[in-house]
Amino acid sequence: MSITAYSLPGFRLFLTSLIFLVFSFNTHANLPGIDALQPSIGAVTSFRGTIRHEQDLPNSKGRSPSVHLRSVLPMNRSFFGTEEDGYLFLSLSNGIGLGLGEVTDLKIKEYQQAPFDSERESLEYEPSVSALTLSLEKGTLAMAFRHLNPLSTARVELALGTLIVHSGKFVFSVLPDKSCQITNYQGTATFYYADSAEREFVASGMSLIITPESANSFSIKSIAKMDDLPEHWEKMVLASDLSRKRVLFRQSSEGNQPQPVWIIPSSNANKPATRPFHYNIK
């Protein structure tokens, strides 16, 4: 039986898709999967003001580790909150940088990561597989990262729906009336309305405003101009991107949680010593 001319394009598309799937399977076949996930960590790279922190851990008895500069903390099932004029920047072990603005409440409902080989350590590409679910209850959150593993997930729950972030640099804002603003400075993401399959694609250079009223009809209220956004939002994104580059997480030889290696900017090596010593040799 011969194949007619008009069926060839569809056949070629099917064949191309099949080859891509086989290639993708072989590429990730040797990587640890979802079944290897375990609770992982993050590091505090900068903060100001009083930081509220709670950790839901077995046998914690309500006690949570204090937050200080360069704290390395369990992130799975944790809470962070900032007060007026405060902020907090975190570097997660999968290469994501987070920034909390003032008067912000953030729950990290899930953060798990699979062990990875030391050869895969990188600041640009995630070395393993991870699952991250954030819940922004109020305030402003910045997120920055380059490339997650295709098998990884990064979700941000807002008052009116859930955002699946694929890559890039974002700012999310939740107002007291539950209105949400999703700003994409770089990258791609998809917003799913609560309890629905309806969604919005958030392209680079877009800032979507969704209110409770517009969400009822599964639509956005408006698109804000990037030039009209608060100036400090872009600074938060840049600071979050810098935060993730401050720490390189390396897998321990025991295969447990990764260990942070702090990266000092090369410019610091050129600074004069604060207490120089001088020797007189006679």
Question: What's the CA angle centered on 33, arms 64 and 97, to 5 degrees?
Answer: 45
**93 in Cβ contact with 132 (< 8 Å):** no
pLDDT at site 24: 40
- How confident is the model over 76-101, as a mean pLDDT? 96
Residue 227 reports pLDDT greater than 50: yes
CA angle 47, 49, 50 (to 5 degrees): 105
Phi-psi region of 54 (alpha: psi -120 to 50; beta: other; left: phi over 0): beta
SS3 state of residue 234: helix
**Residue percentage of the chain with pLDDT more than 70:** 76
- The reported pTM is 0.81
Lowest mean pLDDT, pick from 133-137, 260-264, 266-270: 266-270
* Beta bridge partners of residue 38, listed in sequence order: 113
Lowest-confidence segment of 39-43, 58-62, 107-111, 158-162 by average pLDDT: 58-62
**Residue 202 class from Cβ within 10 Å (0-12 exposed, 13-18 middle, 19+ buried)?**
buried
Confidence of residue 46 (pLDDT cuts 50, 70, 90): very high
